């Protein structure tokens, strides 16, 4: 007995088989691709060359293409040059790399693809065969943000914690190293960076209970060169024999109790940036584990290096300096968001700075020499803190921000005022283009908190964020969620222009020398704006939401703009507020050029009807089911069981009316290979039945509301 989405996925697998077969036939053709990428070419990478050699374009990660063929004047002629369809409808977050005429990208489930960047012919693909059940270890979808290329190899992190090197010409595996303890809930979603012959990679997992670190591996052999732990070993535990050993006591002095029970968090899941001028690596460090500081560290101490930027010596991985934006983090305020390096003129002096707009809502400009804060200003409303004290570098927190006297409605919140979606900086306009958002969350202590091995351990009461059934209340809450593309002057610390969206989780950004800014959005529109004024000049209907950042490159004198399309990630998986949710189509790679005329059409997939279950359930069972649903299922199937389209809407699932089939999925894990793990470890058959009762009540409600709305 298969649900609607299950049928969809089977179809996807058939397409995949066909794609793979054609990929194998073609893989012999390009032999020396990416072999020309050396340490020198990475060090001197210049987007003016027409290549896009590193994650952020060049080591400074400005995501600025110095290409001027496509301009604000002619962008109206931009059209599709070619596109490729992938085999999954899960989130697409990768930034492609272009080297030697080949475009390398990754998709959800950490699959790697190489295309002829001009024609779109697929050269090869590689599937690391990440076990489906590892999907349960990830808070935020089974996404991947891209590869690194160097010395004839393509490097990427697989979701299950492997770092893999492929031959750039053939896509064959060269080496594979397990970078995490795979018995723990670690995942990799971030893109590796290659620095001086080493491949740098971090990991995620701080919602579940892990200890964060970043590692450097030899690019030739895959051997570990150094590792830096971002939180100290537990009290009394011996040193790690790692690059971070020198600062263990510095870190420990900022923690209380036994933080090691939940690992402490501090995962380095996104920004890892090489600062050539000071020969240092800047890492962005994530949230505490659990989120709740009272549980993690008895409510005491700053908890270094959670929610900080840390500068490490590029050769040895040893500590140089840090800046902590959110001391004693308790809101899931990661500071691992993208970092941009630039030279800015500030009060008449040239300063070598890093810029970052982490989840907590403040835009930071920091001196890279010593980590000293130059300036900080909030770029969206921040209810948790009013400002940053420049003398101490610390936020000025609002009363009850730590919910010590009951629930606190925070803005921004766990989804961040800015998340991983890359921002861009144009040295021509001196502006940063920032995909920002406003998503509130009510924080309350979980008074009954009990550790759940392998499951979410955040120490917050989820029910404080219950999704209202009353349509008016629902709409009022929905109206609080916003998104915007902000052009930010980092010197004056002020907004210059904005594009306002009526929802969060829009795409990453590219700026170009043609006075353009490109961004896709949640509704599937890929658009170009003038970089100086923010006027919308061109757009394309991608037919599926865009969250990834575009790139630009040139081949044979023609400039291209490429972007991964495909909605997913933390917000659509967990939120009840995605507009007009419908089953998402498979992800696509879209590549544009002036005069491009490639055909393109995505047929919208209609929702299955609500599955109305005849059986009556006791109200107490429905109530119990709600709590179980929100703690166990809501992070993937959306709060309030209102599906978001990425994963099956359980109210419409065929399984809902069949208790046996439901239990086989939910408890026994019959769909585990597709990412739906069995919950036998956490739930009883009775619990599963209560959740079914809750979802069935939501299906009825959905059908009633649909009728009342007259459609």
Residue 486 to residues 305, 385, 413, 506, Cα–Cα distance (Å): 29, 21, 19, 12
Per CB under 6 A, does 414 bind ligand HEC?
no
Cα separation of 105 and 699, whole Å?
39
Per CB under 6 A, does 6 bind ligand HEC?
yes
Cα separation of 456 and 13, whole Å?
30
Considering only the stretches 17-25, 516-524, 671-679, 699-707, report the one whose residues sit in contact with ligand HEC under the rule CB under 6 A. Answer: 671-679
Six token digits for residue 701: 């409600």
Cβ-in-10-Å burial (0-12, 13-18, 19+) of 599 comes to exposed
Number of residues that bind ligand HEC (CB under 6 A): 27
Residue owning tokens 């509130």: 440
Shortest Cβ 462–ligand HEC spacing (Å) = 13
Per CB under 6 A, does 3 bind ligand HEC?
yes
Among positions 120-139, residues that touch ligand HEC (CB under 6 A) are 135-136
Considering only the stretches 5-13, 37-45, 406-414, 425-433, report the one whose residues sit in contact with ligand HEC under the rule CB under 6 A. Answer: 5-13
Per CB under 6 A, does 641 bind ligand HEC?
no
Residue owning tokens 């290329």: 149
Per CB under 6 A, does 578 bind ligand HEC?
no
**Catalytic site residue 332?**
yes
Is residue 157 within 8 A of residue 18, CB to CB? The reply is: no
The residue number with the shortest CB distance to ligand HEC is 3
Per CB under 6 A, does 632 bind ligand HEC?
yes
Counting every residue written for the chain, the total comes to: 711
Q: Give the nearer residue to ligand HEC in terms of CB position, either 44 or 686.
A: 686
Interface characters, 8-37, with ligand HEC (x: CB under 6 A): -x----------------------------
Interface characters, 645-664, with ligand HEC (x: CB under 6 A): --xx-x--xxx------x--
Among 417, 666, 693, 699, binds ligand HEC (CB under 6 A): 666
For CA atoms 530, 533, 534, 535, the dihedral sign is negative
Residue owning tokens 């088989």: 17
Residue 180, Cα to own-chain centre: how many angstroms? Answer: 19
Shortest Cβ 632–ligand HEC spacing (Å) = 4
Residue owning tokens 């496509």: 70
Is residue 323 within 8 A of residue 282, CB to CB? The reply is: no
Cα separation of 646 and 461, whole Å?
25
Shortest Cβ 7–ligand HEC spacing (Å) = 8
Among positions 677-706, residues that touch ligand HEC (CB under 6 A) are 679, 691
Per CB under 6 A, does 88 bind ligand HEC?
no
Residue 616 to residues 284, 424, 630, Cα–Cα distance (Å): 51, 54, 21
Per CB under 6 A, does 671 bind ligand HEC?
yes
Shortest Cβ 421–ligand HEC spacing (Å) = 21
Rg over alpha carbons for the chain, rounded to the nearest Å, is 24
Q: Of these residues, 87, 151, 270, 332, which one is catalytic?
A: 332
Residue 575 to residues 64, 473, 477, 665, Cα–Cα distance (Å): 32, 16, 12, 22
Q: Give the nearer residue to ligand HEC in terms of CB position, either 39 or 608.
A: 608
Per CB under 6 A, does 570 bind ligand HEC?
no
Among 633, 642, 696, 699, binds ligand HEC (CB under 6 A): 633
Q: Give the nearer residue to ligand HEC in terms of CB position, either 563 or 676.
A: 676
Per CB under 6 A, does 613 bind ligand HEC?
no
Six token digits for residue 258: 């036994």
25 contact partners, CB below 8 Å, separation of at least 6: none
Closest to 199 (Cα-Cα) out of 171, 224, 166, 228: 224
Interface characters, 185-224, with ligand HEC (x: CB under 6 A): ----------------------------------------
Cα separation of 264 and 147, whole Å?
28
Is residue 571 within 8 A of residue 649, CB to CB? The reply is: no
Interacting residues toward ligand HEC by CB under 6 A:
3-6, 9, 135-136, 632-633, 635-637, 647-648, 650, 653-655, 662, 665-666, 671, 674-676, 679, 691
Residues serving a catalytic function are 332
């Amino acid at each position: 007995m298969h649900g609607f989405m299950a049928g969809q996925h089977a179809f996807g697998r058939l397409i995949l088989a066909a794609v793979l077969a054609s990929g194998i036939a073609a893989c012999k053709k390009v032999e020396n691709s990416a072999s020309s990428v050396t340490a020198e070419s990475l060090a001197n990478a210049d987007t003016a060359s027409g290549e896009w050699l590193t994650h952020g374009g060049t080591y400074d990660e400005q995501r600025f293409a110095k290409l001027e063929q496509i301009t604000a004047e002619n962008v109206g002629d931009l059209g599709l040059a070619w596109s490729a369809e992938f085999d999954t409808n899960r989130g697409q977050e990768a930034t492609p790399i272009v080297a030697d005429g080949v475009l390398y990208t990754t998709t959800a489930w950490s699959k790697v693809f190489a295309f002829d960047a001009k024609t779109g012919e697929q050269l090869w693909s590689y599937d690391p065969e990440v076990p489906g059940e590892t999907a349960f270890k990830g808070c935020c979808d089974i996404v991947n943000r891209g590869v690194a290329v160097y010395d004839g190899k393509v490097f990427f992190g697989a979701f299950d914690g492997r770092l893999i090197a492929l031959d750039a010409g053939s896509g064959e595996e060269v080496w594979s190293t397990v970078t995490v303890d795979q018995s723990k809930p670690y995942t990799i979603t971030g893109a590796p960076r290659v620095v001086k012959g080493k491949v740098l990679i971090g990991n995620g997992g701080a919602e579940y209970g892990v200890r964060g670190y970043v590692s450097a591996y030899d690019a030739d052999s895959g051997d570990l060169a150094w590792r830096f732990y971002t939180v100290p070993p537990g009290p009394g535990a011996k040193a790690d024999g790692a690059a971070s050993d020198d600062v263990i006591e510095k870190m420990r002095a900022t923690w209380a109790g036994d933080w090691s029970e939940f690992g402490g968090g501090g995962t380095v899941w996104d920004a890892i940036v090489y600062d050539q001028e000071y020969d240092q690596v800047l890492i962005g460090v994530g949230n505490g584990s659990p989120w709740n500081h009272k549980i993690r560290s008895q409510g005491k101490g700053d908890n270094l290096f959670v929610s900080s930027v840390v500068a490490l010596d590029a050769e040895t991985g040893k500590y140089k300096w840090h800046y902590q934006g959110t001391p004693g983090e308790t809101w899931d305020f990661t500071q691992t968001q993208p970092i941009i390096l630039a030279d800015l003129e500030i009060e008449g002096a040239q300063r070598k700075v890093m810029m970052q707009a982490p989840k907590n809502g403040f835009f930071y400009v920091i001196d890279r020499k010593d980590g000293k804060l130059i300036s900080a200003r909030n770029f969206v409303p921040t209810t948790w803190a009013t400002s940053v004290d420049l003398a101490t570098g610390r936020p000025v927190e609002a009363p009850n921000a730590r919910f010590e006297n009951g629930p606190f409605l925070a803005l921004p919140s766990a989804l961040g005022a800015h998340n991983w979606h890359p921002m861009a900086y144009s040295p021509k306009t001196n502006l940063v283009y920032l995909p920002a958002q406003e998503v509130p969350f009510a924080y309350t202590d979980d008074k009954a908190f009990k550790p759940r091995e392998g499951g979410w351990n955040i120490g917050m009461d989820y029910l404080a964020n219950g999704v209202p059934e009353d349509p008016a209340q629902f709409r009022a809450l929905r109206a609080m969620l916003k998104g915007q593309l902000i052009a930010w002057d980092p010197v004056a610390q002020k907004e210059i222009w904005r594009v306002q969206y009526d929802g969060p989780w829009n795409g990453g950004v590219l700026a170009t020398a043609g006075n353009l800014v490109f961004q896709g959005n949640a509704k599937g529109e890929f658009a170009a704006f003038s970089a100086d004024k923010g006027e919308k000049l061109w757009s394309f209907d991608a037919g599926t939401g865009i969250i990834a950042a575009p790139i630009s490159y040139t081949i044979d004198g023609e400039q291209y703009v490429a972007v991964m399309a495909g909605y997913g990630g933390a917000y659509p998986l967990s939120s009840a507020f995605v507009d007009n949710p419908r089953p998402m189509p498979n992800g696509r790679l879209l590549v544009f050029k002036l005069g491009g005329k490639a055909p393109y059409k995505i047929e919208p997939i209609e929702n299955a009807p609500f599955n109305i279950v005849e059986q009556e359930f006791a109200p107490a069972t429905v109530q119990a089911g709600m709590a179980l649903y929100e703690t166990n299922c809501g992070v993937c199937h959306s709060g309030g069981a209102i599906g978001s389209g990425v994963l099956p809407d359980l109210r419409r699932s065929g399984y809902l009316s069949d208790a046996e089939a439901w239990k086989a999925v939910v408890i026994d894990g019959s769909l585990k290979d597709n990412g739906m793990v069995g919950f036998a470890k956490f739930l009883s058959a009775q619990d599963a039945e209560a959740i079914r009762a809750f979802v069935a009540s939501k299906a009825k409600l959905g059908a009633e509301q649909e009728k009342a709305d007259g459609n």
